[in-house]
A and B are shown apart, each in its own frame.
Chain A
Amino acid sequence: MDILSKTLDLIDNVINDIEIKDINFYDYLLNLMSSLYKNCSIALFFYENTNFILKSAVKDNKKTDITFPLSFENIERLFDSKDKFIKIKTQKTDFLKAETIVAKLAIKESVFGFALLSSDSLNDDKILDSFIAICNIVSYKIKDYELNEVFKIQLKALQEAIIEKENAFEIIKKQHKKLLELDKAKNLFLANISHELRTPLNAIIGFSQALDSKIFGELNQKQAEYIKDIQISSLHLLGMINEILDISKLESNAIKFSPIELDPKTVINEVINILEPLYKNKNIKVEFISNFNGTIKADYQKFQQILYNLLSNAIKYTFENGKIEIISDFQNKDYILKIKDNGIGIEKKYHNKIFKKFVHLNNIYTKNQSSTGLGLTITKELVKLHNGKIFLESELEKGSTFTMIFKKMVI
Chain B
Amino acid sequence: MIDSAVRVALLYPELLGTYGDRGNARVLLQRLAWRDIPAELVEAPWGEPAPASCDIYVLGGGEDSPQASAAAALIAEGALHRAVDGGAAVLGICAGFQILGHSFFGPDGAVRPGLGLLDCTTARRASPRIVGEILVEPDPAVALPALSGYENHAGLTDLGPGAIPLGRVDVGVGNGDGTEGAIGGRVVGTYLHGPVLARNPALADRLLSWVAGDLEPLDDAEVDDLRKERRQFVSAEAARWPNRKREAPFGWRGYRRRRMSSIDRPSEANFSV
Is the pairing of A and B real? no
Q: Which residues of A contact B (CB under 8 A)?
A: none
Q: Which residues of B contact A (CB under 8 A)?
A: none
